[in-house]
Amino acid sequence: MKRIYLFMFLAIWMFAACSSNSGTVKSDASITESPAETQAAAPAETSASKSSDEVFHHTGVGFSMTKPGGWKYLSPEIVKTASESMKWNDAELEKMIKNNPNAPLVVITRYQEPYPTLNPSVAITIVNLPVEGMRPKDILNMSTEVLKRAYPDLAYVDEVQDANVDGINGAYTKIKYTMAAGDKKFPTLTRMWLVPRGKIMFTVGMSGPQEGSDVSEESFSEILKSIRIEK
């Protein structure tokens, strides 16, 4: 059976694939390295007040995020393996995901892998705005509807709504659905924010189990508050 975190990470990443049309990410800032290359066992830059692995900072896209103590970075190799190994029950959806050129900027998990059940995770991605001027709420609504083809039991916990991340107006939703790995099923809770900046947008995905000590709402809230995006 494939490791559970692969399913969790890809469930989040699917939002990015469904929220963007195609093409490589471009921004006003100079991006000298691909998103996949920026993922590392330690952040690109750190704050002097933090230990060396707590703050992920990508100068090319002007994004930073503080990782809770004990959380782990997911390596680019694992991210690549996950994206190449998954099979979906919808051929069109699978093609959309596999053709998505936007590797996550960074992925973190609560526990070291392998982990015996759902591992709480956070994935940050940058994608092109599918239509200039389109409202983040409309983009997120369409993305969620596409995901229902992969998860027929998908239901809203929090309806798609306006939201603010680091002073930037965007959109947010929380959904629940069941992931399957072999003969096992895992009730999953995913939160997603879309944060536009110019012609691109950041997707912030946070996922974990629906019940128990690993729901991780406090940690997810702490991570969201730590996000800084250069205006």
Domains of the chain and any CATH numbers: 4-229 (3.40.1000.10)
Query: Which pLDDT value is given to residue 130?
Result: 76
Taking the C-alpha atoms of residue 160 and residue 175, their distance in angstroms, rounded to an integer, is: 9
pLDDT in tens, the chain (231 residues): 345 555 555 556 555 656 554 333 333 333 333 333 333 333 444 333 344 579 999 999 999 999 999 999 987 777 666 656 555 555 655 665 566 556 788 999 999 877 788 889 999 988 887 777 889 999 999 888 878 877 899 999 999 999 999 999 999 999 999 987 667 788 999 999 999 998 889 999 999 999 999 999 999 999 999 999 998
- How confident is the model at residue 221, as a pLDDT? 97
3-state helix, strand, coil in the chain (%, to 5): 25, 30, 40
Provide the β-strand partners of residue 192: 173, 205
Q: Taking a C-beta distance cutoff of 8 angstroms, is the pair 115, 181 a contact? A: no
Closest listed residue to residue 22, CA positions, set 134, 106, 129: 129
Specify the DSSP element, H or E, that contains 165: strand 155-165
* C-alpha to C-alpha distance for 45 and 65, rounded to whole angstroms: 11
Question: What pLDDT was estimated at residue 165?
Answer: 98
Tokens of 81: 């393996």
Query: Could you tell me which of 112, 117, 173 has the C-alpha nearest to residue 145?
Result: 173
Length of the chain: 231
Q: What pLDDT, on a 0 to 100 scale, did the predictor assign at position 77?
A: 72
Q: Please report, for the chain, how many H helices and E strands are present, in that order.
A: 6, 10
